Amino acid sequence: MPPAVFLMLMLAQDLRAEAVDAAKMERIRKALAETPAMMVTSPLPRQGPVFRVTIHGPKPDRPMWEAWSAVPSYIRPPMPLYHHEFLEQVTPEAFRAPTLYPVGVPVVPLLELLGKQIRTAQRKTAEARAREEVRRTLEELLACRADPARPGCEP
C-alpha cells in the first residue's frame, strides 16, 4: 500500500513540475537573449614566456610583547595560582617581593634568539668553507687534467 501512495505523489508532482520548469526555462532564455549590463573582456594574450616563482620561507616568530597583558606584572603573577600561593607560604617576608613579582626583561627568549642567530651564522660559515674547498679542489683537478706533468699531480 505505501509504495502505491508514494507513486501517486511522485506522479502528481511530476505533472506540476513540468509546467513550472517550462516557465523557468522560458525566463532563463529571455535573460540570456538580453544584452548584459556589463561586459568583462579577457586580458590580451601574453607575448613570450611566463615565469612563475614559488617562495617558501619560515614564518616569523611571534614578538615577545604578544603575550603581554594590560594588567601589570606586580598584580598578575607570572606563574600559576597554586605555585604563587605556595611561594607566599614558604618565602620569608624579606624576599617575597622579588620572588613573587619578578620585574625585568624576559631573558630566556632573548637567549634563544641569540642562540638561533649564532647557529645560523656558524652554518653559513661552514657552508662557505665547504664551497671554497670544493672550488679549490676542482681548480686543482682541472689544472692536473690540463697539465699532468705539473708538480702535485699524480700520474
DSSP readout, 48-79?
A: S---------PPPPPPGGGG--SS-TTTS-SS
Task: Calculate the CA 91 to chain-centre distance.
Answer: 45
Eight-class DSSP state of 154:
-
pLDDT in tens, 17-37: 566 688 888 888 888 888 877
What local confidence, expressed as pLDDT, does residue 92 receive? 92
pLDDT at 118: 96
The answer to whether the beta carbons of residues 155 and 148 sit under 8 Å apart is yes
Query: Residues 103-126: what's their mean pLDDT?
Result: 90
Distance (Å) of CA 35 to CA 32, 38, 39, 104: 8, 9, 9, 71
Write the pLDDT tens digit of every residue in 56-93: 888 777 776 666 667 766 667 777 888 888 988 999 98
Identify the pLDDT of residue 50. 76
Cell numbers found for residue 71: 594588567
**How many Å apart are CA 103 and CA 109, to the nearest integer?**
15
What's the pLDDT at 18?
64
Q: What is the pLDDT of residue 90?
A: 92
Instruction: Please report which confidence band the pLDDT of residue 124 belongs to, taking 50, 70 and 90 as the band edges.
Output: very high
In whole angstroms, what is the distance from residue 110 CA to residue 120 CA?
A: 15
pLDDT tens string 89-113: 999 988 888 887 777 777 888 899 9
